[in-house]
Amino acid sequence: MVSSSDAAPADIAGGNGDGVNEGEFNASAWAAAGDNNTLRVYYALDTNMIQLHKKGSVNEAEHIARTLVSYADLPLLLRARACLVMAHSTEPGYVQWAREAVRIAQMCLDHATEAGVDMPTAEQRMLAQCEEALQNAQDDLQKEEAEEEEEEEEELPSMSMSAADRLVVEGAIPRQMPATRKKHGLATLGGVSRTTTGPSRRSTCELLQPQQEREGGTVTKEAVVRLGGDDDVDMDEYEKHY
């Protein structure tokens, strides 16, 4: 896709590309076609494609361009111009169309030179426009890829893990925990005092029970004592919950 700031639709060479107006080109094209009805159709489609593209009817112009390039016997200059129209497309593949336009335009110039044409102006102008379109298309593609990379980076979640998240992943804290609030990167659990040397008896049971259920075990007094501290366990409180 060639940026609108870089190349307007009118930049595509119309007619024979040497500055004559479309009316003069139409007359010369029809004369060149002679009695060849196929060539007459090609030149008519080419002229219509250029007019539509200059008017901003891009979709219609691209439809004609795709039709033209499907003809095996399409004159090279018309084929290059059709590829040039597709190089201005907003659809994927515009860089490939621009490359093809340059390749064919170079063939046009080579053939004209081999044929002994002193000043192949039309072919030279077509090649210059195709090369410019290719450069613009490559620049646009590079910008699009850079924008996509930025969007992907913004969408990626943070790879850093908080201390509380690591405890959950490692199994030290079950996911079925009470409501949690984060403070200084650590999880402060409801019922757990950060000012004491260890968790309260009730909070110890609340934390231990879901983990024991997952492991298929039972909560024992020894387990509570081991996790909670060396002091005695309040069995009334223990039995109330279990």
pTM over 0.85: no
- Given this model, what pLDDT does residue 128 score? 94
Q: Vertex 25, ends 20 and 30: CA angle to 5°?
A: 165
Q: How far is CA 11 from each of CA 77, 107, 115, 116, rounded to the nearest angstrom?
A: 16, 21, 27, 28
- Note the pLDDT tens digit of each residue in 11-28: 565 544 433 344 444 555
- Given this model, what pLDDT does residue 167 score? 62
- Given this model, what pLDDT does residue 116 score? 87
Tell me the mean pLDDT per 10 residues along the chain, length 242: 41 45 48 73 93 93 95 93 93 93 95 85 92 94 89 65 61 52 41 42 42 48 47 52 48
- Given this model, what pLDDT does residue 14 score? 53
